[in-house]
Structure 1
């Protein structure tokens, strides 16, 4: 009798798990359709799309479970996963080989880094010479790239170590453009997005989205040609997983979770509008364009898909591995991107994930100006 009861319980839970597996597969296919077709750009669709990596993991769990218990049922999630690899594998994991000898032209490296204000938003960091701030500032000054783009750029001109704009100019980056140029010589200057270039900038402009976010662009003369660099910093994702995990009471977890979901919703709405303004600057350019920066959105988003339909993604064409760029929980996301004009082929793309000074990793793409 007890054996039969045990069999009934096992049957019940297998049936329940199979029903959940069916719902999971349908939800995953819904995410595929929304991302591949973009039938709507509503924030709720964004919530479904951004969950695609999570539901992949859940589908993998289903495959393993059914292989152990009922192997024939593993086909459902297996097919869903294979379809995901076919549709979105390249934007998830890049396996590009090292390029051979490039054609004739000038190889130009574009470096991009959200520097988290160098830590200088802290009063004591500005007032006294901080080893942490000095290390990240020295790193970005010494990195070998003729064009450098930053987000959350900060200066404290009253302290020689932190008079970063002056130090860049002394290092040979004579040309620059800032989202908030009035802050570039301040003792506490939140410059925001910034571009520095060894090559001449013949024209530039900026567009502020809000206090912290916006874009700057520069038409840069490289040899006999001109290219446009657009450096963007879009609305934050609002993901603060660490705040949820440190809560020791259920009410605190609920409050922080609601805060994360509300911030995600607001971020989806804001970035959808902001990326349309980025697209306008791409369309209006008479020169080939490279877009770089902190997009604050994953490869499974409206922002990424819209950009991808206009310009190829540099990581997908020349990157390696997963290319995660966020140096905080949850960690396994890529939210800093570069997109390039086909007339500026990418030779190499790197996520510099051993540099941990900020909450983002630097990225760098090398492009051929023919």
Structure 2
């Protein structure tokens, strides 16, 4: 009787897992409840693995079912918890051009009064770290710059284009969404030690801080690559409200419904935005590197659309969760890098030692290869 009940539970877990994977692929703008169901995928994956262990001790023949499901859904497991403890960098076998890429949401370098230090210490250190970083390409979201013509009283602290760009030997492309009365610039930026031969901005309906930009770069060997930098729709949810909502029943009743509404609006907007970008990606003939603040977790439609077409840097070579959010919400990875199949992923790192924003920077080394990396393609999710 107990074995029969356990088998029925195993079938339910398998069905739940497959349904959750199907929900991940449903655009939120078409049927938004599917996106909430997709968020249960980590629990279904974990329970399926638990079923494998249970049945290996009880009946190995029955264990074959959840084990097969675990094997087939392993790329989805890797999205949230990468397992590559024995990864060896492919640099020795790569014959192409190495490219060092860094991405960060810099939170406007803490320029607002509620964010800044008394002596602007975090702002100075962050900009200096980015300027001195050996990365060939730097992609920044929520960027802020004060050009020499800006009428501000902070001296040269926030002349970030000058420091991260020209002084560091990089060309700069700033996609500006706002220039205030003092002349200070807000938006996103790409800095490159390789020549920029083309550049462009992609707006979603209207140009806001949530948009995309790209550059075409000429590598020393003569190859041209395209780098995209984008910031999808923000969640528009205060961290304190989220923590309060699950810390008590009163908090859930008071703030839960409002959070759900805002989360839904964000899901719908991001599904439209990522579909807009995917259409662009499919028309590009160059090897691509993508840097993104997705504002979405690995079990979302936005992530799924990218992971189906590109290698995710962390999922391909990392080990662990790879959380990038610097706050009270644990295990949240919303900042990602993706690479088209022409690239080999050498290494990937989350810079937990740089705590100056609510996002930790990420960096990786990619090798452009003339041979399509089949091994990397298998771990592209």
Which TM-score applies when normalising by structure 1? 0.80
Residue 44 of structure 1: aligned partner: 33
In structure 2, runs of 5+ residues without a counterpart are 370-381
How big is each residue's C-alpha offset from its partner over 1:205-230, in whole Å with a ceiling of 9 and x where there is no partner?
01233522000100011111110000
Which residues in structure 2 correspond to 1:11-90 (within 5 Å)?
26-35=15-24, 38=25, 41=28, 42-56=31-45, 83-84=69-70, 86-87=72-73, 88-90=76-78
- For 1:266 and 1:326, the matched residues in 2 are separated by 21
- Please name the residue that 2:378 is paired with: none
1:245–1:253: 8 Å Cα contact kept in structure 2?
A: no
Give the structure with higher Rg (CA).
1
Q: How do residues 248-263 of structure 1 correspond to structure 2 at under 5 angstroms?
A: 250-263=249-262
Residues 188, 93 of structure 1: alpha-carbon distance in 2 compared, 3 angstrom cutoff: same
CA shift, 1:17, in A, is: 11
For residue 165 of structure 1, what is the aligned residue in structure 2? 161
Shift of 1:322: 2.2
Aligned to 1:234: 232
Deviation of the 1:77 alpha carbon: 11
Whole-angstrom CA distance in 1 between matches of 2:324 and 2:212: 20
Higher relative contact order (CA 8 A, sep 6+): 2
Distance apart, 1:254 and its partner CA = 2.0
In the alignment, does 2:92 pair up with 1:94? no
For 2:213, the equivalent position in structure 1 comes to 216
Tell me how far apart the structure 1 counterparts of residues 196 and 272 of structure 2 sit (CA, whole Å): 28
Deviations 1:85-112 (A, max 9, x none): 6412332313033335142332111100
Say yes or no: does 1:136 pair with 2:132: no
Distance 2:257 2:195 in 1: 48
1:204 maps to 199
Aligned mates of 1:283, 1:354 — CA distance in 2:
36
1:319-349 C-alpha deviation (Å, 9 max, x unpaired): 2322221222322122211121222322222
Residue 142 of structure 2, aligned match among 136, 152, 159: 152
Distance (Å, rounded) in 2 between the aligned partners of 1:84 and 1:257: 33
Residue pairs, 1:313-324, within 5 angstroms: 313-324=312-323
**What SS is found at the alignment partner of 1:154?**
strand
> Is residue 111 from structure 1 mapped to residue 102 from structure 2 by the alignment?
yes
Q: 1:120 — aligned with what?
A: 111
Q: Equivalent residue of 1:228, what SS?
A: strand
Rounded Cα–Cα distance in structure 1 between residues aligned with 2:48 and 2:238: 25
Residue 289 of structure 1: CA displacement? 1.1
Structure with a larger share of its residues in helix: 1
Q: State whether residues 179 and 186 of structure 2, in contact with CA within 8 Å, keep that contact through their aligned partners in structure 1.
A: yes
Q: Is the 8 A contact 2:310 2:338 kept in 1?
A: yes
Structure 1 partner of 2:356: 357
**Is 279-288 or 222-231 further displaced after alignment?**
279-288
1:174-218 Cα deviation digits (max 9, x unpaired): 422222176399554322x21111211111001233522000100
The question of whether the paired residues in 2 share the 8 Å contact of 1:344 and 1:369 is answered with: yes
Q: Deviations over 1:94-143 (max 9, x none)?
A: 303333514233211110011112111337839x6411221222221211
* Deviating more after overlay: 182-191 vs 325-334: 182-191
Q: How many residues align?
A: 351
Write the deviation string for residues 48-68 of structure 1: whole angstroms up to 9, x where unpaired.
11222245567789999x99x
CA contact (8 A) 2:103 2:363 kept: yes
CA contact (8 A) 1:173 1:196 kept: no
Task: Name the SS for the 2:282 alignment partner.
Answer: helix
1:11 equivalent in structure 2: none
3-state SS, counterpart of residue 300 of structure 1: coil
1:286 Cα deviation after fit: 2.8
Q: CA deviation at 1:82?
A: 7.4
